[in-house]
Structure 1
Amino acid sequence: MSNKNENNMVNTQKTYGPKATVAQIFATTAQSFLLIGLGMEIGMPTNVIQHLYRNLDSEFSLTLTEVSWYGSILFIFHPTGSFLSGFLQERYGRKRCMILANVPSIFGWILLYYTHSTVSLYSSTVLMGLDIRFSEAPILSYVGDITEPRLRGSMASLACTSSMLGVLLTYFLGYLFEWRTVALLSTLCPITCICLVILIPESPV
């Protein structure tokens, strides 16, 4: 009985060796780009409103009512994104959902870059609002599925910190560049995420 327990311990050590740890860190980091993008989407309205609110020198400007709607639409569509995420991740898996979640984000950033009216501005926000809640469920589920217990807490913390990093990154870019340039640069985040998530394995659950 003692020998059997020792063999189990050895097998566990082989399974959770340095290579397994590096693989789990890489997988968590790869999908964290999705959360960085999520944070950037949450922070972007601040940059846009700063430049467009009652700005007569701009190509178009926003009234107080339009600003209120612009800030709200991002969150109004959260429930729809959550519903789609719960349905699709059980049908197609966590990995495919994480890849798919980047699609509305890419189109949302591009539409924001080319926007010349309030309608297109709202449309870009709808896409981002769907993406935010659509991406959260598969990300958090994936971290729990692929990490071993001793790493699960720290990896979950990395995922949660990534969204705050995205918000700070948006504010920093907004300080350096005009809002359209920030929108264009922001497309790099979901594109990078897709390239990295393709490399990681599907959830074993």
Structure 2
Amino acid sequence: MEATKQNYKYDSVAGSDPEAVDKPHDGRQRDVQVTVMAESAKRPVNRTFQYIAACTANLAAFTCGITLGWTSPVLPKLQTMIDNPLSEPISESDAAWIGSLLPLGAALGPFLAGALSDKIGRKRTLLYGNLPFIVGLLLNIMASASNYLLLSRFLCGIAVGVTFTVLPMYVGEIAENEIRGALGTLLQLFTTVGLLYSFAIGPYMSFTAFNTACLVIPITFLVTFFLFIPESPYFLLQVKRDDEAEAALMKLRSTDEANDVRSELDEMKASVEEALANKSSFGDIFKSRGLTKAYILSNGLLVFQQVSGINIVLFFAQSIFQDAGVALAPELCTIIVGIVQIIFSGVSSILIDRSGKRLLLMVSSAGMAASQMLLAYFFHLKDKGDDVSWLSWLPICCVLAYIITYCLGFGPIPWAVMGEMFPANVKSVASTATAATCWFIGFLLTKYFGMVTEMIGKSGSFGVFGVCCVVGFAFVFKFLPETSGKSLQEIQNMLNGTADPKEDVEKK
């Protein structure tokens, strides 16, 4: 069997990308790679603990999913006096704030995460970032007025922003190249499982019992991640704690022999030194044509992700089905949505490398546009007073089609493209700013969805989302280059307009 070349070039901020380095920078790196190949051929590979560590860390993503889906089963209760812990039903304004304060908090979370992750470490940032989840859910349990819930949602939003920023970084830095892609997909998978958790148990439990059940997950994460999972070796090298880095890497690689990880550790050290030497600021993005274009493309994809209406569908799924008067029970419809989302989140990770990101994004935007337009048509007929009982199946089909096409493209791919567009020295600041923009747009949409709906109706609102998806299709078709199968340097060459057309022809 031919030995597989392993390249352990680590990304300085957002983890590591197997495409980050195509060629060794110098003789030392080439020697390290040859040595790693020889050592990997001698000893059996045991990656079990890497999967355990990544799954344990992604319990934080599970909690994110729970809080993202929390409003769907809870808001219908809060707007009536059925299982409502408050003294009176909440107003439409409070409902809008309860839905929108999470993305507002999430817009602030990346800035907090960026400041802490390089100072106190990835592990401690994730642990501290988990505490707002616990405090927020405790506030829900104790809630006697809507202010408790408003504060809870804002705190949970901060935790979501921190988690989505630091978790990919941590997982990328602990994983070997061969499984880094697979472990990276766990973020979306665990998030969708968390959504299903809320959709499946929320409607059938009391308000207090549901929040108590939600609280179990972040507490489990806090205990298991703190006690059993090591800090990122990359960060430990960054703060000159070399012995601890070696011990952490040995644990992650399931070996008791320091020599088994020596070459990989040396490669990490070289990468850390290079990253620290070339670290750049946010303003440096706009000094380069390629980086400016990368920033515009990354922000554009994430803005179109939000204006497709995803947060509206997830936050208010049960209410949408209630208003539509679907034949199935609304809570059962949301469970079906959660199951479909999990299935197609897994399918997307298989199709990305086979079909290319650009094609999937266009298929995704076209499918979402058709789904939203049909949903708008249904509510148009309903608002006119037409008999839509014969179309009671249409809303659930539209939402399922929307979720399927979202998961295939505009769900995971914008984040993956963002990771490829920026080199290591600016990835931290660029990713932080882009993620914050994404969540802030989500806040605006969630907060003012109800107000806009009162003005133009649900048909108009979903129609606007459909039009935005059409514009998103045009944006991808016109401006986005295909990045699949290309190294970071090749992507930078494309963005700077210096790519060699002959090379592209030869690759095709």
Instruction: Give the TM-score normalised by the residue count of structure 1.
Output: 0.91
Q: Tell me the CA shift for residue 185 of structure 1.
A: 1.2
The one-letter code sitting in structure 1 at the alignment partner of 2:62 is I
Matched, 1:33 2:62: no
Per-residue deviation, residues 90-115 of structure 1 (Å, max 9, x unmatched): 10110111111111110100101110
Name the SS of the counterpart of 1:184 in structure 2.
Answer: helix
In structure 1, how many angstroms separate the alpha carbons of the residues matched to 2:123 and 2:113?
12
Residue 233 of structure 2 aligns with which residue? Answer: 204
In structure 1, how many angstroms separate the alpha carbons of the residues matched to 2:166 and 2:40?
27
* Equivalent residues in 2 for 1:17-166, closer than 5 Å: 17-18=45-46, 21-55=47-81, 58=84, 59-166=87-194
Residue 187 of structure 1 aligns with which residue? Answer: 215
Name the SS of the counterpart of 2:164 in structure 1.
Answer: helix
Residues 8 and 83 of structure 1, relative CA distance in 2, 3 Å threshold = closer
Residues 63 and 77 of structure 1, relative CA distance in 2, 3 Å threshold = same
Residue 173 of structure 1 aligns with which residue? Answer: 201
Residues 6 and 132 of structure 1, relative CA distance in 2, 3 Å threshold = closer
Q: Tell me the CA shift for residue 175 of structure 1.
A: 2.9
In structure 2, how many angstroms separate the alpha carbons of the residues matched to 1:39 and 1:14?
42
Checking the alignment, whether the CA contact within 8 Å between 1:112 and 1:120 is kept in structure 2 is yes
Q: Tell me the CA shift for residue 118 of structure 1.
A: 1.0
Name the SS of the counterpart of 2:233 in structure 1.
Answer: coil
Q: Tell me the CA shift for residue 57 of structure 1.
A: 7.5
In structure 1, how many angstroms separate the alpha carbons of the residues matched to 2:110 and 2:217?
21
Q: Tell me the CA shift for residue 179 of structure 1.
A: 2.2
Q: Tell me the CA shift for residue 13 of structure 1.
A: 3.9
In structure 2, how many angstroms separate the alpha carbons of the residues matched to 1:15 and 1:133?
40
Q: Decide which moves more: 31-40 or 70-79.
A: 70-79
- Larger Rg: 1 or 2? 2
Residues 89 and 15 of structure 1, relative CA distance in 2, 3 Å threshold = farther
Residues 14 and 70 of structure 1, relative CA distance in 2, 3 Å threshold = farther
Aligned length: 200
The one-letter code sitting in structure 2 at the alignment partner of 1:81 is G
Checking the alignment, whether the CA contact within 8 Å between 2:77 and 2:83 is kept in structure 1 is no
In structure 2, how many angstroms separate the alpha carbons of the residues matched to 1:98 and 1:32?
10
Q: Decide which moves more: 34-43 or 64-73.
A: 64-73
Q: Tell me the CA shift for residue 204 of structure 1.
A: 1.4
Q: How high is the sequence identity, in percent, across the aligned residues?
A: 25
Checking the alignment, whether the CA contact within 8 Å between 1:81 and 1:133 is kept in structure 2 is yes
Gap regions ≥5 residues in structure 1 = none
Checking the alignment, whether the CA contact within 8 Å between 1:28 and 1:159 is kept in structure 2 is no
In structure 2, how many angstroms separate the alpha carbons of the residues matched to 1:152 and 1:16?
18
Higher helix share: 1
Name the SS of the counterpart of 2:67 in structure 1.
Answer: helix
Checking the alignment, whether the CA contact within 8 Å between 1:78 and 1:129 is kept in structure 2 is yes
In structure 2, how many angstroms separate the alpha carbons of the residues matched to 1:65 and 1:151?
46
Residues 15 and 140 of structure 1, relative CA distance in 2, 3 Å threshold = farther
Checking the alignment, whether the CA contact within 8 Å between 1:115 and 1:121 is kept in structure 2 is yes
Residues 102 and 8 of structure 1, relative CA distance in 2, 3 Å threshold = closer
Q: Tell me the CA shift for residue 80 of structure 1.
A: 1.4
Name the SS of the counterpart of 2:229 in structure 1.
Answer: coil
Per-residue deviation, residues 14-37 of structure 1 (Å, max 9, x unmatched): 57712xx01110110100100000
Checking the alignment, whether the CA contact within 8 Å between 2:56 and 2:221 is kept in structure 1 is yes
Checking the alignment, whether the CA contact within 8 Å between 1:54 and 1:63 is kept in structure 2 is no
In structure 2, how many angstroms separate the alpha carbons of the residues matched to 1:143 and 1:137?
11
Q: Tell me the CA shift for residue 10 of structure 1.
A: 3.4
Checking the alignment, whether the CA contact within 8 Å between 1:60 and 1:116 is kept in structure 2 is no
Q: Tell me the CA shift for residue 6 of structure 1.
A: 7.8
In structure 2, how many angstroms separate the alpha carbons of the residues matched to 1:57 and 1:7?
64
Q: Tell me the CA shift for residue 159 of structure 1.
A: 2.1
Checking the alignment, whether the CA contact within 8 Å between 1:40 and 1:170 is kept in structure 2 is yes
The one-letter code sitting in structure 2 at the alignment partner of 1:196 is T
The one-letter code sitting in structure 2 at the alignment partner of 1:74 is L
Instruction: Give the TM-score normalised by the residue count of structure 2.
Output: 0.38
In structure 1, how many angstroms separate the alpha carbons of the residues matched to 2:212 and 2:83?
22
Residues 62 and 8 of structure 1, relative CA distance in 2, 3 Å threshold = closer
The one-letter code sitting in structure 2 at the alignment partner of 1:43 is G
